[in-house]
Structure 1
């Protein structure tokens, strides 16, 4: 199954199966450029090939198919508009080779990169050749790492996995076979290691894979971070080496200690991490770019119904704020909540396009990970919990049939620009605690409390909102961040924990935890009035007090010293504490299923927290099934085998 079209090579976008998502939209393959083998021997050809692969990654991390990163974990459940496939992934009931992610189209990119590595030696400009080859090696390692984490490789107990192709293929073939897991990781680690030796320390205007210094292509730090992650991941597998965790700890420590060399650092304020102005700042290391003006990677066209390379991440965890009403009914605190159909909102640019494909899993996300919303700012920075009225709506009724006050809409509502409301009444409020009926009746709008959250109505993930949007149907031009500097601290903590170096693990966790205590008065404009906030007068003392409270307690340190327990029903251990920190720091990034799989915690934590997936999840679900497209494409030689546990 060697994907190649005779002697001409086509850089194609990812042929990724976009999971059924309600609207049943599919990304189509769309050729971007034709490259002949001899073109790889020129700087322009090699640059076009590497740029084409970066461009293809936009397709890989676009669209509604991204839900497979989240479903079937402790953090999320399928949203009310998730369609049919996402709930299957979340329930682990009915997963097969035809309804899970098919990312085998990435082998087109692997072949492109193999071509670069095979022919680049003929480039006479040594500087250019070195940069191009380093980027190609990083990208090949990155793609294989992504594939092997998804599907695995052959081991003593696993009968299938991904193929390993390391040479440029010029003739189509209908024969292929899975590779040994050890060989796959050997190549990944070799590629990342060799990329480190030649990549630049920072992105500059002379970098041929950025637009005037803008962009987040690979650097030394990026390759080292993914190298550390590869060691960390391999350390849990049958292919592990005895020093994998130590190498991960050493690499991440070196990145932290030499952060200035790479232009890296943490923002003092966690709220600043996700501001669009900082998308290419010191904390974001590796991005998939969707920029409107980037001449290398754009071709960006905003389309109401989607399109190639459109970032849809921001719409996936956004509830339909247009739907809930403002009327109270008797027994409103009963579960499930009964909501009227009298809407207090209309769809505008600021509040965004609600897809409702994913929802927070309340028993874990709200009740455990984000339980502390006073000392820790990350809940307020992650979730939108109030909506300002933006339309003329009739007054709601109280629980006793009386009439509430009429909502006053904001004066600057726009259907063509992203404008934060400057006034107006709150139409929807999601406080962190229950409220009395008297409070509900006195409130003009709708109050939804945590025990009323479900897969339809829930706090919206706001981290990825795009102020550059100009239409109510627009998606996003912001990048998707695949490596943040904060993850380097988390990986360092995880590696040291697995080594038994609890003090070192705690040090890295405390850096992030205490950073998360910092608030400014300016942050208050995005925080509901019922939530904790600071003023100029209280900021200094509150931040100091909260930072002290966020340091790991003696009880938490004791938990951190308990070795990783992967057995269902086991008591809490140090890995639970680390995974909770991953949630608070990186919630919403496309990653959670992979974090649970890597740490061998998928089954245990789904059973602990995800009531929908708990009855069916099994150990073999730590690999996705080999896509049917690959199995069907192998027509010669032995039939391509399926991963354990799947039909």
Structure 2
């Protein structure tokens, strides 16, 4: 985007603030005349303030935050996870000092309050432009408050703390603050989302000052309607403030956006795999993108250049779910060849880092029992989403078993003296011929060094396989299927991060929202219809997608594609037993029978696994404790005992509590 230098954006945002809303953290910068609040009385100042907030959302979203996934049914701490991630995975030791800190959100909210206060006075822009800019500011303020209230909550008759609510521009520092009633916060969120809709465009066009031609997707009317539906949906579960029509409004709004998808330029791709391809990042299915840019060629909006260790800015998503396929994948082909599980020899590693397999951060691992026991218990044939989401095989790319007469890396001196070469009784693994450290090359040949299967493997197959086999019950925090759908194929160095945008909202979520709202209304048929739209798409496959799935896995050819897809579409519709489960009423009590919302939450995982959302899905539905107790026992048993209802709100950060210097001390959330 060729709009403003990032430095100017940040200064424009900061100069308007004076203080964080609760606090003593005052600015030390000397205000510049052109960046004072009066700057928001100009079109340029309004745009700068709004873009500054979008830039901050990118910084919040693109870092290595593991707290969306650990401690949920979907994910667990990986082998390289931080001590903080472990606390949140086990729900033991969480406190106000290690909780996610959202301090910058208050500065952004005050920037938006400044825009909303002064924008009506701008006389260098048209009324139409003014309405659009004000709509953006209202949308962003609602979006920030929605994230904050879902994280920390608000005061109710039983909950003494939560977040403050400030919708007036604060020009002078202040040192007192108090949490706001939960009902007031949601009323403001719903008001802002609602009022933003009429001023936002239906689609992103080349003259949009916040999303240059094809370069990004900021708020549109459909995005605002979808978040408004989510706000109603979320409030509907909060019994102390819920309104009778909340679920119906969520159902109506989501249905309206789906029905008018052509107006908004939205639709599903025919193939689920297409939704996650890099060339479709700005296509019809992605509604709300946070951009990163390609580094040195774009220094205006993104200003992200290659980092010292490689990488485009701070989008870590593609590395967070990637296991250490180097250190934890060693093969010993001489001893215990076909043991179950096989012996893993860390001194005989068959893999080295290349561009295709990527940087193994190993921060978050899928919860194996949930992944294979619930989401895809019958393999991947009828549902393509597993294959499109996970990498389950690694092609040998390191000379580990050389020809006789040479010495393999990792052999001990005694083995060398004994004449061992590392060839192993099964023979040498053949490496891929197109290994690259600088290009994203899908392996065209070579033996499979590591295979993670979706079922138990016969001894006959083990006998014929040279590499390491990991069965579903052997998935742990050392070895797991890697989430591949965030891969950035443009990377040119081993340590590159990603320049892909983070997708905050996908069109497919409208069907899930609609199903969830209708379920809560007791409309089982309508809920099933929305889920089956996604099930239909999930069953479709293209021949071209077969190069990234294991050789033994189901795939289609040009000859059998039509028949195979028709059969799988029919097989992937909700079954009679699933329809019966969908008809079981909502019940969040741990240990009770599976019900319809359990089924819908499973569908959220199949459709959106790895997106930055899962903890919020479980908190919104009030199912966090139920689902952790149901699915985490085998992988993190201590979390099953520790998790409690109060964990559905994070503790108020200590930095905000300490910033309140006058008046009543800012209270901590219950339980912490």
TM over 0.5: yes
Provide the rounded CA distance (Å) in 2 between the counterparts of 1:48 and 1:81: 39
Partner of 2:166: 165
TM (norm. structure 1) is: 0.93
* CA gap 1:8/1:534 in 2 versus in 1, 3 angstroms: closer
1:116 and 2:115 equivalent?
Answer: yes
Write the mapping of 1:243-642 to structure 2, written as runs, cut at 5 A.
243-292=245-294, 297-305=301-309, 309-323=313-327, 324-328=329-333, 329-330=335-336, 333-334=339-340, 338-372=344-378, 373-394=380-401, 403-611=425-633, 612=636, 613-642=639-668
Provide the rounded CA distance (Å) in 2 between the counterparts of 1:130 and 1:265: 27
Contact 2:342–2:468 under 8 Å retained in 1: no
Shift of 1:394: 1.5
Partner of 2:106: 107
Provide the rounded CA distance (Å) in 2 between the counterparts of 1:540 and 1:9: 57
Provide the rounded CA distance (Å) in 2 between the counterparts of 1:11 and 1:353: 40
Shift of 1:412: 1.7
Shift of 1:297: 3.0
Contact 1:115–1:168 under 8 Å retained in 2: yes
Contact 2:336–2:342 under 8 Å retained in 1: no
Contact 2:331–2:344 under 8 Å retained in 1: no
* CA gap 1:536/1:367 in 2 versus in 1, 3 angstroms: same
Runs of 4+ with >6 A deviation: 5-8, 29-34
Contact 1:11–1:31 under 8 Å retained in 2: no
Partner of 1:21: none
Greater CA drift, 441-450 or 309-318: 441-450
Partner of 1:58: 58
Aligned length: 626
Contact 2:311–2:496 under 8 Å retained in 1: no
* CA gap 1:428/1:131 in 2 versus in 1, 3 angstroms: same
Partner of 2:405: none
Provide the rounded CA distance (Å) in 1 between the counterparts of 2:30 and 2:498: 21
Shift of 1:433: 1.6
Greater CA drift, 204-213 or 81-90: 204-213
1:402-457 CA-partner distances (Å, limit 9, x unpaired): 52221222222111121212222222111212223443342222222212211011
Provide the rounded CA distance (Å) in 1 between the counterparts of 2:13 and 2:99: 31
Provide the rounded CA distance (Å) in 2 between the counterparts of 1:414 and 1:598: 44
Write the mapping of 1:54-203 to structure 2, written as runs, cut at 5 A.
54-64=54-64, 66-124=65-123, 125-203=126-204
Provide the rounded CA distance (Å) in 2 between the counterparts of 1:516 and 1:11: 47
Provide the rounded CA distance (Å) in 2 between the counterparts of 1:7 and 1:590: 29
The alignment partner of 1:67 has SS state of coil
Provide the rounded CA distance (Å) in 1 between the counterparts of 2:601 and 2:171: 44
In our comparison, the structure showing a higher alpha carbon Rg is 2
Partner of 2:4: none
Shift of 1:335: 5.7
Contact 1:203–1:214 under 8 Å retained in 2: no
1:47 and 2:47 equivalent?
Answer: yes
Provide the rounded CA distance (Å) in 1 between the counterparts of 2:11 and 2:322: 45
Provide the rounded CA distance (Å) in 2 between the counterparts of 1:8 and 1:391: 50
1:538-588 CA-partner distances (Å, limit 9, x unpaired): 211111111001111121111101111100100000001000000000001
Contact 1:11–1:52 under 8 Å retained in 2: no
Provide the rounded CA distance (Å) in 2 between the counterparts of 1:30 and 1:524: 56
Partner of 1:23: none
* CA gap 1:405/1:190 in 2 versus in 1, 3 angstroms: same
Shift of 1:83: 2.0
Contact 2:311–2:497 under 8 Å retained in 1: no
Provide the rounded CA distance (Å) in 2 between the counterparts of 1:435 and 1:105: 50
Provide the rounded CA distance (Å) in 2 between the counterparts of 1:362 and 1:298: 37
1:47-68 CA-partner distances (Å, limit 9, x unpaired): 000000000111101222x200
1:311-330 CA-partner distances (Å, limit 9, x unpaired): 00111110111121122442
Shift of 1:340: 4.3
Provide the rounded CA distance (Å) in 2 between the counterparts of 1:6 and 1:58: 17
